Structure 1
Amino acid sequence: MKKLVIPFALLFIISLISFSPKPVTDSTNSWVRINLLGYQPKSSKVAIWASKTNEVPEKFELINQQSGKVAYTSTNIKSFGAYGPFTATARLNFSDFKTPGKYFIRIAEVKSPEIIIDDEVYRHTADFALRYMRQQRSGFNPYLRDSCHTHDGFALYGDKAGIKDSTHFDASGGWHDASDYLQYSTTSANAAYHLLMAYRDFPQAFADTKQANGLDGKNGMADVLDEAKWGLDWLLKMHPKDNIMFNQLADDRDHISMRIPKEDSQYGKGFERPLYYINGEPQQRGKFMNNTKGTSSTAAKFASAFALGSKTFLSTDEKYAQQLKNKAISALAYANIKKGVTQTASVKSPYIYAEDNWVDDMELAYASIPLVDEKSWNKSSKEALNYAKLEPVTPWLTKDTANHYQYYPFVNIGHYELAKLNQPMRKELMRYYKQGIEQVWERAQKNAFYRGVPFIWCSNNLTVAFAQQCFWYKKLSGDESFTELEQANFDWLFGCNPWGTSMVYGLPTWGDTPTDPHSAFTHLKQYPIDGGLVDGPVYTSIYKNLIGIQLTKPDEYAEFQSDLAVYHDDYGDYSTNEPTMDGTASLIYLLAAYDSRVKTLPKEFQTELGAITRGKKTEKKIALVFTGDEFADGGESINKTLVDEQVKASFFLTGRFYNKPKFKALIKTLKANGNYLGPHSNGHLLYNDWTKRDSLLVSELQFKSDLIWNYGAMEKFGIKMKDAPYFLPPYEWYNQQIADWTSQMDKQLINFTSGTRSNADYTYPEMGKSYRNSEEIYKSIIDYDQSKTNGLNGFILLLHVGTDPRRKDKFYHKLPELIKYLKTSGYELVKINELLKSEP
């Protein structure tokens, strides 16, 4: 038969015609996929056009949900052709539309689900996902208000440590790993680290509504820390002595049946379940042998979790922090017993956590040890960098497939922590992150969903990890090249995927989310598993070769399955719809990060680069603010004036000031008289260059550590962090990054109101043209008040507690005259927390 030959040029023209924009005519075979949770106004905002026809729209409209009117029209459409079940796909970019509200995209007769644009769209979502972690608790389970697995467990493989098989160790507690009731040290340590890290980086994202046992009631500690401590307490049991460490509790015989956890007598020694000792050798139960080669991977994860835990709880529970410190050091020693990976054990099933890399764990461990041993900073950072060089890019980033948990954790946390620990190493570490991102981008840029993450088992966990890596890279490098890629991976998790469903149970409550996950809680009792991140889609080839999967009902997403990948909201599919504890913990970090990207300051206040610089111009209130570092010669005079005039002021003092014995009596007096006392940095650091304001002179770790030390010095006077939420920067000089870091610590940066020369009261004649005498300073204040419409309303008027001895003309001697003038002019002098009290 004669072959038909079509010239290449003609084929090219036909392909252009096939996928060129056309008017949309078929609304039954076309969809618009969005992030069901919503978009922040300033973020990347992209929806996906997905059609089983060749049609690609020429434009799209954003319709106001309430009024029905067109709010925005755009032709910013990028076509990509076929993907998965779709013949035509395209990216609909509306990033330049920033008006908050509720909308939907309309293309002819095709409409998207409701689109929410608001700064608050991710608010409280991290705490929502935390519900799943509490529900996964073993020991006492607050959701069930019942206990389970209280008799665990008995040791196996402990002969190297002189432990006879079946010896009992208390291993009750911790988290069930997924919908089954196994418990793994490696996933638990990683989860605990993510929770601790989430609180450290974004404390404002978390509330205190639960007690330590998970039941309702505040206990003075953020719920995320209660949960992290629950995990740490169990890890302490899994490393009871320097020469004893267990890798897992229970095994795959757990999978015999679906059940609500009680005492669980399915197998084992009575109610006890087996504890697998880490001996650095392959372990076999039944007919399956794992590929354990050493002690490093799990033990190193212990070390980093214990170290960060010690640092976190040092200010609230010194004894517990010391215990964690000791365990961090012993865990690192255990990791060095035999360099190599520790894998989990299985009895009946071939499926295990087949972790195959361990140097990333060692990198994080060595980057974490300086948190509990400051003297080791130089040596430990060098060790960490050596390990970083052995695996600069997490291997799965370069591949389109991998074994189950082969490269775990799915993101190299060590690069991020080490980059903060050691500024000179940052550039190289950021290059490692960028290399990995570029590998994924090479695949992602070929499809409309920007999907470059492989569809292997737990693909959603990888998606979270990749978004984290993009987020950290941007944060540390300032390079925003991958912002849209990062957002695309976040959006994927919440509905911007071929199936149009969120991958998090119950989030958002108004959207399409899993309802029939592979979980005994939902299947047997219809208990909601709020916040659980399900495994996510897998390659169709993987799905077809898994053992024991059988769908229990018609597939609601049948028209969106393809030869590429499948996802089923069916409890019979354990490969795509089973929630995981560690994946959810990672998601909690990401949700906290996105929640904290936007902090809206009250509109009635004047702000600059993230700092509040003036209160309400509509109220005749002024805050007198005094800063102090090395001098306090005006302290007694200032205090006397305040008492005589019955006025309260605000004092922002450095850690050095608080720690000087000669200033102790003054500080106590100022506090006793009801003044506001706050932080001014510990060592009076210069944060950024005087001429290049965006050029930082400190790292994030230096900044946060210094501020924490400042608060530590304040605690000696009974001033707790929660009592002093406002921070005034040293030298009154900062940039947006400093404001952001302050916000991440749940504090608000403030600065003086410009316009007067009050802050020049520290100058002295030898400074030449910069010098201002007290009469000039006083006159500048009066002149501003009398020349401006709102006068000094809302002013943060900054002065100094003391000045250099070379200044003989002390402005604090004019303070009585100034206060009398302000009072006569009708001003109310208040503390900073009263001036900045926002409307409810």
Structure 2
Amino acid sequence: MDRRHLHRSIAPAALAVGGGLVLAMLPYAAAPAHAATTGQLRTDQVGYATGESKIGYLMASGALSGETYKVVNAAGSTVASGTVGGASRGSWNSAYPDVYPIDFSGVTAAGSYQLVASGPVGATSATFQVESAAALYGTLVSDGVNFYQNQRDGSNLVAGPLNRKPAHLNDAAASVYQTPSFQSGGNGDVINGSSLTKIGGPVDVTGGWFDAGDYLKFTFTTSYADDLLYASARALGSAAPAALSAEARYGSDWLNKMWNPSTKTLYLQVGIGSGNASGSFYGDHDLWRLPQADDSDTASADRYAAAHRPVFEAAAPGAKIDPDLVGRVAASFALAAQAEAATDPAGAATELADATSLYAMANTSPSGTLESAAPNAYYPESIWHDAMELGATEIALAQQALGNPAATYTPYLTQAATWAADYIASDSGKDTLNLYDVSALAHADLVSALAQAGNPSGLAIGSAALVADLKAQVASAAKVSASDIFRAGGNYADFDVDSHTFGFISTEALYQRASGDAQFAAFASQQRNWLLGGNAWGTSFMVGAGTTFPTCMGSQIPNLSGSLNGAAPVDTGAVVNGPNGTSNFTGGLGSLQGGMKKCEQDSFTAFTGHGSEYVDDVRSWQSSEPALDMTGSAILAGAVQSSLTGSVTPPSPGGRSYEAEAAALAGGANATGCSACSGGKKVSAVGGGSGGTVTFGGISEPAAGAYRLSVSYLSVGKAKQATVTVNGAAQTVAFPETDPSSYGVVGTVTVTVQLAAGSANTVAFSASSGKSAPDLDRIVV
């Protein structure tokens, strides 16, 4: 299991498929209040699908008698009611010895609701939505992509609400160093010696994503994350947001820099965590700063941590490379080839060549520790058959997508089947889909590749065995879930429960798609419910999803660029580690690291129970640090579940979905009232030209108050600024002036506006460009 590297120490703009200016209004997330009372109501704070089971949880300080509940809609009307009865599901902790389920599955109409309990306890839930499954899961996709944009390194950034700026441009001419030796004991990442030994360079390793709350860049985690993004875009097909595909491309572009096919060299990572024992040089985890400060850091002690970050090799040039790395990175190249096969066959062929050249370098008889990071303790990997199965499978699928003959891809299918059989024989049952086990994705894709090949005989394994192993992975978690008070299928007393739980949701959809068996669909919904608020702590573990979510993450950029304790802006889409074993918090969280802004929501500890604790605190790497793999798991879960129900719907504030159903209006035209309402939703669209005005009739959803207006410009062109006027109050916002390499989000900015209820709200906007007037395609309220 991951002992993620130690530090010493509301929804975003809607993502559109088309180009233009996209505006989405989001309510401020109030700072959570968690004073222990006689009762707490827990629900999925994002919402429930119209036809699925809907269970709330009443945590009580004792056995209940005479408690009732009701479900109230946005108009204040009761749409369902009943008695809180039956047996308690068990004791969570001494303060909440009884937890009662409340089944309100009869509520199926789309809308906004609250669950209210009355009687001896009395409690009210957060507001949640009932809507389509595609809309619910669409939140995970679009919000998760936002986090990846915030994690970008280099010059091609999305400024966003966190005001990201170019960083680590010195990575363009980085030096390669011999992998150092590390001291044993402690956190295991202190380097021996007074300096690092340079062995090569310069190499260009600009770009990529920061791994977690730090600024390190790992081939191991980036390739896993990129595999998930490409798989997500492929699952959604034409419904995939343009920004998702662009982000997957951003990841593989960096991995292309980390693999040099001419010298057969794969680079392992950029940067070091901690410095050396004497303190003559520091590591990334010894500093707390914004990334743009690093290139101009002239301190001698920071030379490896900031201004001139080292690059390490996975193996010597031309030497065989550990298979866990090879399989994941080769899969990323092959997935890129699949994505480009129809539109850029030549580019796809190049990606495929990179995949096959790297795949051929795998050491398939490894001994000792598998290489994943320096030090290996950051990401200790123990299995590899799954990664090689994934690499071989994606290569075969890429060759099929390019129309290559069976003689070309059959050897890879043969090898993929062999690795799958080895995984099932040696590794199955030890883990499920997460950073350390990619078998679920590999199995599902191998089933697809075999089907396209006509299900050839004579392989080490066939589709039936692959589907059976997928089922076993889901069934094992479903069994755990059935006996848990809040129906959690993961181990919340260990690391990475959130990543594993999103993995369950993905695996259920992959199994359902491969088998047609939907018997575990309710289990997948229960896992989403737990992740997004239906848990003992009453919080969503994805930033911006729901009413209460992490606001004090152990992450430098939001801590130093965002607002704290729930105020805007926040690092929307970030998924944190989540609850963890109480022993990991022994001794407290320590003092603030130099440069940290104090931010804490430590009252979550009132809900510590079952050996598990959750702390939302900038110092809490144990539970509140976000990472690429965790958020990538959420994106894949959203995408593959959406692919079962149809197209993904970009979410609006609080999970509500508004599609642009009105006829496109010419620039400068007006739309008054609600002439394009659907199901009570007020929608309008603007297309063509560089500006316009839209007037919406009395806004009742969302309610009156302060809102964040997120403005995104999507184009190959260059937008310099936009002016947004809401009810007469004008604000001008500047966009970054960097042209993207491909069609996608150029930048996102955020302004604060006031909306009134019961009267018209007029939103006027315009934009200008250094080249030509950009198109403003859609406004969504």
TM above 0.5: yes
How far, CA to CA, are the matches of 1:255 and 1:471 in structure 2?
A: 38
Deviations 1:336-385 (A, max 9, x none): 465466334446xx951011111100111111111333434333223212
Are residue 255 (structure 1) and residue 281 (structure 2) matched? no
| One-letter amino acid of the structure 2 residue matched with residue 387 of structure 1 | W
C-alpha contact (below 8 Å) 2:552/2:600 kept by paired residues = no
Matched residue of 2:307: which SS? Answer: coil
1:110 aligns with 2:123: yes
Q: Among the aligned pairs, what percent are the same residue?
A: 24
Structure 1 residues 241, 93: closer, same or farther in 2, change over 3 A? same
Deviation at 1:501, TM superposition (A): 0.7
Partner residue in 2 for 1:483: 521
Bigger shift: 58-67 or 309-318? 58-67
Task: Choose the corresponding residue for 1:421, options 449, 456, 461.
Answer: 449
Change (3 A) 1:503 1:393: farther
Kindly provide the CA deviation profile for residues 294-350 of structure 1, in whole angstroms up to 9, marking residues without a partner as x.
Answer: 510111111111111111112333332222111000111122465466334446xx9
Which ranges of structure 2 fall in alignment gaps of 5 or more residues?
1-34, 181-196, 274-282, 456-461, 563-568, 593-597, 650-780
Aligned to 1:352: 378
Query: Is the 1:394–1:412 Cα contact (8 Å) retained in structure 2?
Result: no
State yes or no: 1:61 paired with 2:79. Answer: no
Task: Give, in whole Å, the separation in 2 of the partners of 1:397 and 1:48.
Answer: 31
Structure 1 window deviating more from structure 2 (55-64 vs 148-157): it is: 55-64
Matching residue's letter, 1:227: E
| Alignment match of 2:257 (pick from 237, 248, 269) | 237
Identify which of 592, 609, 614 aligns with 1:562. 609
Counterpart in the other structure of 2:743: none
Q: Which residue in the other structure is 1:316 paired with?
A: 343
Counterparts in 2 of 1:435 and 1:517: CA distance versus 1, 3 Å = same
The normalised TM-score by structure 2 is: 0.64
Q: Distance in 1 between matches of 2:131 and 2:576?
A: 26
Partner of 2:416: 384
Aligned with 1:127 (options 135, 142, 147): 142
Deviation at 1:398, TM superposition (A): 4.6
The answer to whether residue 242 in structure 2 is matched with residue 227 in structure 1 is no
Q: 1:69: how far off?
A: 2.3
Cα drift, residue 274 of structure 1: 1.6
Distance of aligned partners of 1:514 and 1:204 in 2 relative to their CA distance in 1, 3 Å threshold: farther
Structure 1's 70 and 270: CA in aligned 2 closer, same or farther, altered over 3 A? closer
Alignment of 1:374-523 (within 5 A): 374=404, 375=406, 376-392=408-424, 398=430, 408-409=436-437, 412-423=440-451, 425-455=462-492, 456-508=494-546, 511-523=547-559
8 A contact 1:47–1:496 mirrored in 2: yes
**Cα separation, partners in 2 of 1:40 and 1:481, compared to 1, 3 Å:** same
Does the 8 A contact of 1:232 with 1:305 survive in 2?
A: yes
The structure-2 alpha-carbon separation of the partners of 1:395 and 1:29, relative to structure 1 and needing over 3 Å to count, comes to: farther
Give the alignment partner of residue 83 of structure 1, picking from 67, 92, 95: 92
- Greater RCO, CA 8 A, separation 6+: 2
Match of 2:578 in 1: 536
> Residues of 2 paired with 1:485 and 1:595: CA distance?
16
Residue 226 of structure 2 is matched in structure 1 by 192
The whole-number CA distance in structure 1 between the counterparts of 2:131 and 2:628 is 29
Which blocks of at least 5 consecutive residues in structure 1 are unaligned?
1-25, 208-221, 282-291, 603-839
Distance in 2 separating the partners of 1:575 and 1:601: 33
Aligned-partner SS, 1:436: helix
1:99 aligns with 2:135: no
Distance 2:93 2:359 in 1: 45
Please name the residue that 1:201 is paired with: 235
Question: Are the aligned partners of 1:397 and 1:440 in contact in 2 as well (CA < 8 Å)?
Answer: no
Question: What amino acid sits opposite 1:480 in the alignment?
Answer: A
Find the residue that maps to 1:232 and give its secondary structure.
Answer: helix
1:305 partnered with 2:321: no
Distance in 2, Cα, partners of 1:270 & 1:114: 44
- Alignment check: 8 A CA contact 1:78 1:92 kept: no
Question: How many Å separate the matches in 1 of 2:66 and 2:468?
Answer: 39
Aligned partners of 1:420 and 1:123: how far apart in 2? 24
Q: Could you tell which deviates more after superposition, 359-368 or 553-562?
A: 553-562
Q: Does the CA-based 8 Å contact 1:65-1:102 persist in structure 2?
A: yes
Partner amino acid for 2:107? F
Instruction: Confirm or deny that 1:148 pairs with 2:156.
Output: no
- 1:596 Cα deviation from its structure 2 partner: 4.7
Indicate conservation of the 8 Å contact 1:205/1:592, yes or no.
Answer: no
Distance 2:306 2:116 in 1: 62
2:255 is paired with a residue whose SS is: helix
State the alpha-carbon separation in 1 of the partners of residues 102 and 429 from structure 2.
27
| Partner AA of 1:443 in structure 2 | V
* Alpha-carbon contact 1:62-1:73 (below 8 Å) kept: no
When residues 232 and 541 of structure 1 are mapped into structure 2, their CA distance, relative to the original with a 3 A threshold, is same
Deviation of 1:187 (Å): 1.1
Q: 1:295 to 1:322 in 2, by over 3 A?
A: same
What is the aligned residue count?
543
* Deviates most, 355-364 or 234-243: 234-243
Which secondary structure state, in structure 1, belongs to the residue aligned with residue 250 of structure 2?
helix
Instruction: Give the Cα–Cα distance (whole angstroms) in 2 for the partners of residues 477 and 597 of structure 1.
Output: 12
Q: 1:256 to 1:198 in 2, by over 3 A?
A: same
In 2, distance between residues paired with 1:481 and 1:101? Answer: 27
Q: Could you list the per-position Cα deviations for residues 145-188 of structure 1 after superposition, in whole angstroms to 9, with x for gaps in the alignment?
A: 532122222223499xxx97142211111111011011111111
In structure 1, give the amino acid aligned to 2:250: W
CA distance in 2 between partners of 1:66 and 1:487 (Å): 27
Q: Is the 8 A contact 2:67 2:117 kept in 1?
A: no
Is the 1:393–1:435 Cα contact (8 Å) retained in structure 2? no
Which residue identity lines up with residue 416 of structure 2 in the other structure? A
> Which of the two has higher C-alpha Rg?
1
1:453–1:122 distance in 2 versus 1, CA, 3 Å: closer
Matching residue's letter, 1:237: K
Compared CA separation, residues 480 and 306, structure 1 to 2 (3 A): same
Q: Which amino acid in structure 1 is aligned with residue 500 of structure 2?
A: L
Measured at CA, do residues 371 and 447 of structure 1 come closer, stay the same or move farther in structure 2, by a change above 3 Å?
Answer: closer
Opposite residue 309 of structure 1, the aligned amino acid is A
Q: Quote the offset at 1:463 in angstroms.
A: 1.1
Match of 1:591, SS? helix
Deviations 1:254-283 (A, max 9, x none): 1011111023552329833121211289xx
- Secondary structure at 1:248's aligned position in 2? strand
- Flag the 1:306–1:597 CA change in 2: closer, same or farther, 3 A: same
CA distance, structure 2, for counterparts of residue 563 and residue 600 of structure 1? 39
2:19 corresponds to: none
SS state of the match for residue 176, structure 2? strand
**One-letter amino acid matched to 1:524:** L
Native 8 Å contact 2:271 2:311 kept in 1 = yes
Q: Distance in 1 between matches of 2:316 and 2:52?
A: 47
Does the 8 A contact of 2:223 with 2:328 survive in 1?
Answer: yes
Within-5 A mapping of 1:681-692: none
The amino acid of 1:256's aligned partner reads: D
Letter in 1 for 2:418: N
User: When you count helix as a share of all residues, which structure comes out higher?
Assistant: 1
User: CA separation of 1:56/1:111 partners in 2, compared to 1, >3 Å: closer, same or farther?
Assistant: farther
